[in-house]
Amino acid sequence: MSVNADLRRERAAATFQAELLTHILDGGPERTRRRKEIEALVLNDPDFQHEDLNFLSRSQRYEQAIRKSSLMVMKLREYGIADPEEIYWFKSFVHRGRPEPLDLHLGMFLPTLLTQATPEQQDRFFMPAWNLEIIGTYAQTEMGHGTHLRGLETTATYDPSTQEFILNSPTVTSIKWWPGGLGKTSNHAIVLAQLYTQGQCKGLHAFIVPIRQLGTHEPLPGITVGDIGPKFGYDEMDNGYLKMDNFRIPRENMLMKYAQVEPDGTYVKPVSDKLTYGTMVFIRSLIVGDSARSLSRACTIAIRYSAVRHQSELKAGEPEPQILDYQTQQYKLFPLLATAYAFHFVGAYIKDTYHRISGDISEGDLSELPELHALTAGLKAFTSWTANAGIEECRMACGGHGYSRCSGIPDIYVTFTPSCTYEGENTVMMLQTARFLMKSYTQVTSGQQVTGMVSYLNDLSRQRIQPQHVAARTVTVRINDPTSLVEAYKSRAARLVESAAKNLQAELNHRRSKEDAWNRTSVDLVRASEAHCHYVIVKLFTAKLAEVSDAAVRAVLTDLCLLYALFGIGRNAGDFLQAGILTSAQITQVNQHVKELLAVIRPNAVALVDSFDFHDVHLGSVLGRYDGNVYENMFEWAKKSPLNKTQVHESFHKHLKPMQAKL
């Protein structure tokens, strides 16, 4: 089939080479080549073909996911793919961006064994887990507690007479609830439980717990395990429950790389409680990348479809225009496109920073960990909230057809939206970032210097020497210059951090307890964290521009960077006005410039989503097809609906016909 004429025209009109931008997103032409090579291994493999998952029941979708996951593990070994990033690519091509039942085995169980088990424990558990004799999950969340880990109620009580831990779920709220792969797939779990030894509670520790008999897969005595039922999405995943009744495991099943329990029950505490932060930081950095990818997919679908779809009249008697020509459609979609690029560069930055700091951590240097922990918590929340709302905006921008599963956007949405909750509920994450910001602010006010992304707070102490208030200092903002806009965002962050800190102090002065004062200021604290994250994103996007050597690509990325920064100012105009960073006249200019940028970006819109380089199979959308042949394929897709297997549905004879006969 030929490519739709509108899309052909759009691609010919682009001012840059899409391929060059793809190389930047991938991290170089060699990485693009390798990604496509791995993609081809999956796409050309008949074992990974299957019918549209939208037409399958939940049980069938779970079975397909298990079938593909089992094949995937064997083929990864066969092809010798061992690099974590390449495994991630292979996995996402196999499962087309959807979750799968081995996610927690590969993403949490194995890494936790590597980072928290002793060499002896690794000898016992790692190879069987690597070869999938042991299939594990990570059982932390309970019915009654999620993000608030200290509230978890599962207990592990040490019995020195048998050298065993006795695991119990003492209340209904202590039942482990939600871990992926727990319901039907896993035969082991890393269980987080409150450790009791010698009559004292020593807090949360991790234990390797067998839950099903190897070979028969039947649950072990004392274990109640199953699937928690249908959810908003994640049909492929057997999120499960686990209840333990006096279930005994050997002492050696407690993960003891850091904390230990000796045979007589003596507790040896870890050197630093921050060492287990590593995995958390890593997973949160992945969510930032995932926010970028999920939003990119939704933008690709909505922008391509908007170039193919013609509707209404702009001028009487003329042909119907592409809906992408309407300024309102551009205003919905182009800022989201700019956001997807911004988040992509931020995700890459965090990943690189994590790898750089990991080396320091393994050598015992934990100095940069608090900031990285605070930054990933905040950015995880900021990017997942924004992407989540953006995906839904893309769906609505596709009109009625966006509501059909064939658009692919409902699937992207229900698969992505839980990331606002898992690995740390977003509001709680923002408050973690706020704790770091308040601590940094206190350091600055007591005369110390702070480093890293919060170094802008140092300016506050310098301004104290002059009598004027921080907000009154004038920033000359040039709205066509990304570097100048970074300064504007920096001033806004400083203003909101200072304002939250002063409000917190005012609550404390009212003789409120620390906790009460914190709660009464928490709306301001979240806003301060959001402003800090927004500044970091604008700063990193701007810094990326200088690294781009191709002038045409740099020009189009500069347009996107300006749009991202100016659109954000327009949306938060009150902050910039209140702090005296911008005048009312400048805000009017900002809004005008945003509209001008929409027109500038319009000719490159399709090429910009082509640069994300999603294969049609991975995109999973009739509306977002690369060739733009939407309508023919929508009709073909609908014909395959299970309801169309027979011309007359059995319900006609069962219910409608008898009713017609009686009336």
Which are the contacts of 139, defined by CB distance < 8 A and separation ≥ 6?
176, 179, 182, 189, 190, 191, 192, 209, 242
518 close to 505: Cβ distance less than 8 angstroms? no
Q: How far is CA 592 from the centre of its chain?
A: 33
434 close to 375: Cβ distance less than 8 angstroms? no
Mapped onto helix, strand or coil, the DSSP state of residue 5 is: helix
- 318-to-255, 313, 328, 366 alpha-carbon distances in Å: 71, 7, 20, 66
Please state, in angstroms and rounded to a whole number, the distance separating the CA atoms of residues 274 and 268.
16
Q: Kind and range of the H or E element at 177?
A: strand 176-177
Please state, in angstroms and rounded to a whole number, the distance separating the CA atoms of residues 468 and 203.
49
- Neighbouring CB atoms inside 10 A of 131's CB total 10
- Neighbouring CB atoms inside 10 A of 647's CB total 6
Tokens for 168? 């119990």
The type of residue at 68 is K
| Burial per residue of 21-53, b for 16 or more beta-carbon CB atoms within 10 angstroms, e otherwise | bbbbbbeeeebbebbbebbebbeeeeebeeeeb
Q: Which residue spans within 181-239 are E strands per DSSP?
A: 188-197, 200-210, 223-227
Residues β-bridged to residue 200: 197
Tokens for 507? 């609550």
Mapped onto helix, strand or coil, the DSSP state of residue 568 is: helix
Tokens for 645? 């297997």
Inter-helix orientation angle 551-571/522-545, to 10°: 160
Q: How large is the C-alpha radius of gyration of the chain? A: 27
- H, E, C per residue of 387-444: HHHHHHHHHHHCHHHHHCHHHCHHHHHHHHHHHHCCCCCHHHHHHHHHHHHHHHHHHH
DSSP assignment of 73-124: HHHHHHHT---HHHHHHHHHHHHTT---TTHHIIIIIHHHHHHHS-HHHHHH
Residue whose entry in the numeric block shows the structure tokens 């050997």: 250
Opening angle at CA 127, ends 123 and 129, nearest 5: 115
Please state, in angstroms and rounded to a whole number, the distance separating the CA atoms of residues 80 and 23.
24
- Neighbouring CB atoms inside 10 A of 9's CB total 12
- Please measure the distance between the N-terminal and C-terminal CA atoms of the chain and give it in whole angstroms: 51
Please state, in angstroms and rounded to a whole number, the distance separating the CA atoms of residues 76 and 199.
48
Please state, in angstroms and rounded to a whole number, the distance separating the CA atoms of residues 488 and 595.
20
| Burial per residue of 597-619, b for 16 or more beta-carbon CB atoms within 10 angstroms, e otherwise | bbebbbebbbbbbbbbbbeeebb
Catalytic residue numbers read 423
Residue whose entry in the numeric block shows the structure tokens 């909230």: 385
Q: Residue 236: which of 58, 48, 104 has the closest Cα?
A: 58
